[in-house]
Chains A and B, each alone.
Chain A
Amino acid sequence: MLLEQCEAKEILSVRIRLFGELSRFAGGRGYSFDWPLSPGETIADLIAAIGIPAVEVWMVALNGVKTGVATEPSPGDEVMIFSPVGGG
Chain B
Amino acid sequence: MANGYWGKILRVNLTDGTITTDTHSDEWYRTYWGGRGMIGYYLLKETAADVDPLGPDNKFIVAPGILTGVPFGGAGRNSFGAVSPLTGVYGDGEAGGFFGAELKRAGVDGIVFEGISPKPVYLYVKDGEAELRDASVIWGKTTGEVEDILQEELGDKRIRVAQCGIAGENKVLLSAVANDLTHYAGRTGLGAVMGSKRLKAVVARGTMQVPVADPDKVRELARWMVEHWAEKSQGLHDHGTANGLMSLNTSGGLPTRNFLQGHFEGAEKISGPTMTEQILVDRDTCFACPIHCKRVVKTGPPHNVDPRYGGPEYETLGSFGSTCYIDDLEAIAKANELCNAYALDTIGTGVTIAFAMECFEHGLITTKDTDGIQLEFGNADAMLKMVEKIARRDGFGDVLADGSLRAAKRIGKGAEQYAIQVKGQEVPMHEPRLKQGLGVGYGVSPTGADHCHNLHDTGYEKDVTSVKGWGILEPMKASYLGPEKVRLLRYQVALRAANNCAVICQFVPWDLQQFDALVTAVTGWNNTHFELLQAGERSMTLARLFNLRRGLTAKDDKLTERFFQPFKSGPLKGVSVSHEEYEKARVTYYRMMGWDDEGVPTVERLFELGIGWAAEHLPAANQREAGTL
Residues of A within 8 A of B (CB): 19-24, 31-32, 55-59, 61, 64-66, 80, 82-88
Contact = CB atoms under 8 A, between A and B. Distances in A.
A23 B238 contact: yes
A24 B230 contact: yes
Contact of A88 (B251, B252, B461, B507): B507
A69 B571 CA distance: 16
Interface stretch (B242-250, B334-342, B410-418, B617-625): B242-250
B291 to A, nearest CB: 12
Nearest to B429: A87
A82 B456 contact: no
A64 to B, nearest CB: 7
Contacts of A65: 571
A21 B314 contact: no
Interface string B458-488: 1111110000000000000000000000000
Contacts of A56: 462-463
Given A24-B234, A86-B456, A87-B430, A19 B241 contact: no
Contacts of B235: 19-23, 83, 85
Contacts of A88: 241, 244, 313-315, 451, 507
Given A24-B230, A57-B462, A19 B243 contact: yes
B303 interface: no
B456 A59 contact: no
A80 B186 CA distance: 33
17 contacts: A19-B235, A23-B235, A23-B238, A31-B273, A58-B461, A61-B250, A65-B571, A66-B251, A66-B571, A82-B246, A82-B247, A85-B244, A85-B247, A85-B458, A86-B458, A87-B451, A88-B313
**When A and B form their complex, which 6 residue pairs have the shortest distance between CB atoms, in order from nearest?**
A88-B241, A85-B244, A86-B456, A84-B459, A21-B235, A87-B456
Contacts of A21: 232-236, 243
B250 A64 contact: yes
A20 B459 CA distance: 11
Nearest to A55: B463
B543 to A, nearest CB: 20
B287 to A, nearest CB: 18
B250 A80 contact: yes
Nearest to B238: A23
B231 interface: yes
B349 to A, nearest CB: 17
B507 A58 contact: no
Contacts of A57: 462
Contacts of B238: 23, 31
A21 B244 CA distance: 10
A70 B390 CA distance: 50
Contacts of B233: 21
A62 to B, nearest CB: 10
B554 interface: no
A59 B244 contact: no
B258 interface: no
B384 to A, nearest CB: 24
B238 to A, nearest CB: 7
Nearest to A58: B462
Contacts of A80: 246, 250
Nearest to A22: B235
A80 B456 CA distance: 21
Given A24-B230, A31-B273, A55-B463, A19 B246 contact: yes
Contacts of B234: 21, 23-24
Contacts of B314: 88
A32 B268 CA distance: 14
Contacts of B460: 84
Given A24-B230, A31-B273, A84 B462 contact: yes
